[in-house]
Amino acid sequence: MAALIAENFRFLSLFFKSKDVMIFNGLVALGTVGSEELFSVVAFNCPCSPARNYIYGLAAIGVPALALFLIGVIWNNHTWNLVAECHKRGTKNFSAAATFLIFGSIMGRASVAPITWSVISLLRGEAYICALSEFVKPSSLDKFPAEYGADVLAKFPCRDVPANLTKFRDEVTRRLRYESQLFGWLLIGIVAVLIFLTKCLKHCCSPLSYRQEAYWAQYRSNEDKLFRRTAEVHSRILAAKNVKQFFGFVALDKEEKELVQEFPVEGVQPSPQWNAITGVYIYRENKGFPLYSRLHKWAKGVEGNGPTPEGHELLFLAS
């Protein structure tokens, strides 16, 4: 039993540590669904007032989606690599296709959460009903009393209507929920088709075979893990040396003492080296040999960023 529990925890650990794009996007979507459900239950409260319903309903769908999109852009490593690239080297080395590819990758990943939020909001229908109830034409409702207008229709989402309008409220709510869910399903279909076409286009235009692309993905993941782990150890040892120089001693635990003894750190890397391994990377080959990252390119001593007679640039962005 204990072995089974340990195996399950190990599986969950590997699952949540995975860098796979589909898993990451799935987790983002699930988190967004949970957030939207919580928002609808706790925070959403239609004002049921003419001219306010429309603004509030659209804001309930659009503002969180915009915030999630911006968060997605901020959390994407490509964003800051692109900023570093423009700051240090400019975009003169990028073709129009490469620039489009970079922005497409950033926008595509950042769109997962806002699209999920919008779809769930439309399928639930509350925000859509709140926004458009006052715009339903009374003439489209059979035998709707002429003395009532948009001010009463705006109160339909709150069920605060005269008893003789209950059946009209139900009809309006049903009609708007149908429209909202229809738009939600259409949005799901459009996104699914776009994802399918994008995946097909990516694999058709990829300069790499399926196995080499899988190897490249593994290399990027391993390089990132090892770089972060090594940087954490390097910075800890360097900090220990500096603290010891200031105080004359440094309080280290057993593990840290072993690290200091095992990995002697003499200094820090100069800024040109950091700049060389930082920025957007598009797959390149040099004399027929692949260069899988900026760090790989720096380690091989390949100079320059753009295509050269000895280096061939292939428009395939590291995802």
Last residue of a domain, one of 175, 205, 235: 205
CB 231 within 8 A of CB 254: no
Token match 């990028």: residue?
A: 94
Longest CA–CA span in the chain (Å) reads: 91
* Integer Cα distance of 157 and 125 in angstroms: 11
- Out of 84-88, 178-182, 194-198, which region has the weakest mean confidence (pLDDT)? 84-88
CA 89 vs CA 83, 291, 294, 306, 308: distances in Å = 10, 19, 14, 10, 16
Q: Return the pLDDT at 301.
A: 86
Count the domains in the chain. 2
Q: Are residues 106 and 196 in the same domain?
A: yes
Please report whether residue 26 resides in a domain.
Answer: no
CB 118 within 8 A of CB 190: no
pLDDT digits 0-9 by tens, 59-85: 988 998 999 899 989 988 888 877 877
Confidence of residue 91 (pLDDT cuts 50, 70, 90): low
Q: Are residues 189 and 218 in the same domain?
A: no
Q: Is 312 left (phi over 0), alpha (psi -120 to 50) or beta?
A: beta
Q: Are residues 186 and 83 in the same domain?
A: yes
- Out of 19-28, 50-59, 98-107, 272-281, which region has the weakest mean confidence (pLDDT)? 19-28
Cα first-last separation, the chain: 40
Average pLDDT on 211-217 reads 89
Domain that holds residue 227: 210-300
Average pLDDT on 83-101 reads 69
* Integer Cα distance of 53 and 48 in angstroms: 6
For the whole model, what pTM was predicted? Answer: 0.70
* Integer Cα distance of 220 and 103 in angstroms: 20
Please report whether residue 309 resides in a domain.
Answer: no
- The answer to whether residue 26 scores a pLDDT higher than 70 is no
Confidence of residue 218 (pLDDT cuts 50, 70, 90): very high
Q: Are residues 187 and 231 in the same domain?
A: no
70 vs 5 pLDDT, higher one: 70
Q: Are residues 89 and 199 in the same domain?
A: yes
Of 131-140, 147-156, 223-232, 306-315, the range with the highest mean pLDDT is 223-232
* Integer Cα distance of 23 and 241 in angstroms: 40
Last residue of a domain, one of 189, 205, 221: 205
Share of residues in the chain with pLDDT > 90 (%): 29
Q: Are residues 232 and 161 in the same domain?
A: no
Confidence of residue 16 (pLDDT cuts 50, 70, 90): very low
Token match 């820090």: residue?
A: 268
CB atoms within 10 A of CB 286: 15
Q: Which run of H or of E encompasses 224?
A: helix 210-247
Please report whether residue 31 resides in a domain.
Answer: no
Q: How many Cα atoms sit within 13 Å of 37 on the Cβ side?
A: 6
Token match 């080297």: residue?
A: 89
Q: Return the pLDDT at 237.
A: 93
* Integer Cα distance of 11 and 176 in angstroms: 44
Angle at 279 between CA 275 and CA 285, to 5 degrees: 100
Please report whether residue 44 resides in a domain.
Answer: yes
Q: Are residues 288 and 274 in the same domain?
A: yes
Sheet holding 289-291, edge to edge: 289-291, 282-286, 311-317
Q: Which run of H or of E encompasses 190?
A: helix 166-205
Confidence of residue 3 (pLDDT cuts 50, 70, 90): very low
* Integer Cα distance of 135 and 113 in angstroms: 29
Angle at 30 between CA 29 and CA 36, to 5 degrees: 85
Confidence of residue 103 (pLDDT cuts 50, 70, 90): confident
Confidence of residue 25 (pLDDT cuts 50, 70, 90): low
Q: Are residues 141 and 191 in the same domain?
A: yes
CB 178 within 8 A of CB 132: no
Q: Return the pLDDT at 83.
A: 80
Q: Are residues 164 and 144 in the same domain?
A: yes
Q: Are residues 55 and 188 in the same domain?
A: yes
Q: Are residues 57 and 177 in the same domain?
A: yes
